[in-house]
Amino acid sequence: MPSFQPLVFSGVQPTGNLHLGNYLGAIRRFVALQDSHDCIYCVVDLHSITAQLVHDDLAGQTRAITAAFLAAGIDPEKHIVFNQSRVMQHAELAWIFNCVARIGWMNRMTQFKDKAGKDRENASLGLLAYPSLMAADILVYRATHVPVGEDQKQHLELTRDIATKFNNDFSDRIGQLGAGVDMTVGDERVNGFFPLTEPLIEGTATRVMSLRDGMKKMSKSDPSDLSRINLTDDADTIAKKIKKAKTDPEPLPSELEGLEARPEADNLVGIYAGLSDRSRESVIAEFGGQQFSVFKPALAELAVEKLAPIASEMRRIMADPAYVDAVLRNGGERAAVRAEATMKTVREIIGFVGD
Ligand code: AMP
Ligand code: TRP
């Protein structure tokens, strides 16, 4: 029986500086999946005009994210790296999904509520429809696995809802065209054109918190630069930010449970674990009972050791924008072939007249 080919897809927006949360929650996972999977990694420039229309240097930001992908170890020849806007099938499928998804589904998205703030009437229509474009990014390749940080979980559930509704609403046409694929959902065997994509939210750092407030996510948009470690920060800046990171006066606990009511300590232990590919348990086994005056310098040293080579490689790659553009062009051409194969069938399923 045919089933969906395993395929990994993920995207990062070209807005703001990449930080440690993006690296540990997403990019490091992207790198790890390359050995076992066929992967497509996308700089999602269409998404970045949803919250803010005009950007000073969208092209430069797009190249910087691409350089970060490459510097972190993504192989653009074995896999695909490209920017979203050059493969117009993303926008085409997003339109169709705008007609599949319900307004109520979009209104429930916490990222929309956060980004739209109090004045929802004044948010762009694109910001509301954002998850429909995200579903299209994934499903235009019929991707089966999506590595992301914890904050994207709800969007991936919505992606499954869109795939399910499309598969159900068009089940007769999909059957007539023989375009369906069998898949297992829970204990059930179902048939559909789009897979029900699995989120991959893995590792010890799926939600890296701000260095200034252990209850807030580390984010590109935090006004305080001390709240995050940027991938481009130099060694002194990294060390300074870790030294200034908010903590409590207690030493690190000797048991994992001791981190429960201590979000800042928990975050720093999670970062150490993420950067060293170790479990939180093993970090606590090494540093339990130690003061932050011991742990913070060790963490700073580790962060510099892991991040400085990426920053310098990023700078090297960005000095050659023609190379970066060639990577994106080549990736875009290969992505478009796959996306068009999906869209040809989608157009037939819906009944659009074409060649
Ligand atoms: P964005 O910066 O929103 O485009 O996010 C790019 C990727 O990084 C997504 O997979 C996010 O889930 C992930 N990400 C963003 N912030 C964090 C964070 N603080 N901790 C872990 N993952 C994150
Ligand atoms: N919404 C994601 C974020 O803000 C970015 C994104 C867009 C994405 N399309 C995607 C992630 C498809 C995974 C798959 O981080």
Ligand 2 pocket, Cβ-based, cut-off 6 angstroms: 9-11, 13, 44, 47, 134, 137-138, 146, 148, 152, 155
Task: Kindly report the pTM of this predicted structure.
Answer: 0.95
What does DSSP say about strands 145-147 and 80-83: parallel, antiparallel, or unpaired?
unpaired
Residue 101, φ and ψ in degrees, nearest 5: -70, 155
Give the separation between CA 221 and CA 124, rounded to whole angstroms: 18
Ligand 2 centre to CA of 134 (Å) is 6
Q: Report the separation in Å between the CA atom of 346 and the middle of ligand 1, taken as the mean of its atom positions.
A: 30
Per-residue confidence (pLDDT) for residue 184, from 0 to 100: 86
Concerning whether 240 is annotated as a catalytic residue, the answer is: no
Q: Among this protein's residues, is 118 annotated catalytic? A: no
Answer yes or no: are the C-beta atoms of 130 and 112 closer than 8 Å: yes
Pairing verdict, β 188-192 and 181-185:
antiparallel
- State how far the Cα of 289 lies from the Cα of 150, in Å rounded to an integer: 30
* Residue from 216, 304, 300, 231 nearest 264 by CA: 216
Atom number, ligand 1, closest to the C-alpha of residue 206 = 21
Distance CA 207, CA 205 (A): 5
pLDDT, residue 2, reads 65
All domains in the chain, ordered by first residue = 7-204+320-350 (3.40.50.620), 225-317 (1.10.240.10)
The string of DSSP letters for 193-216 reads SS--PEEE--SS-SSPBPSS-TTS
Distance CA 14, CA 47 (A): 9
Interval between CA 155 and ligand 2 midpoint (Å): 8
Choice from 17, 22, 62, 216 to test ligand 1 binding pocket (greatest atom count within 8 A of CB): 22
217 is catalytic: yes
Q: What is the pLDDT of residues 25-71, one digit of tens each?
A: 999 999 999 999 999 999 999 999 999 999 999 999 999 999 999 99
Which two structure tokens, joined as six digits, stand for 93?
């499928």
SS3 11: strand
3-state class of 170 per DSSP? coil
Question: What angle (nearest 5°) sits at the alpha carbon of residue 213, between those of residues 211 and 217?
Answer: 80
Cβ–ligand 1 distance for 15 under 6 Å, the answer: no
pLDDT of residue 355: 80
Q: In order along the chain (355 residues), what is the average pLDDT of each group of 10 residues?
A: 87 93 95 97 98 96 97 98 98 98 97 93 96 98 97 97 98 96 88 96 92 95 94 94 96 94 96 95 96 96 96 95 98 98 98 92
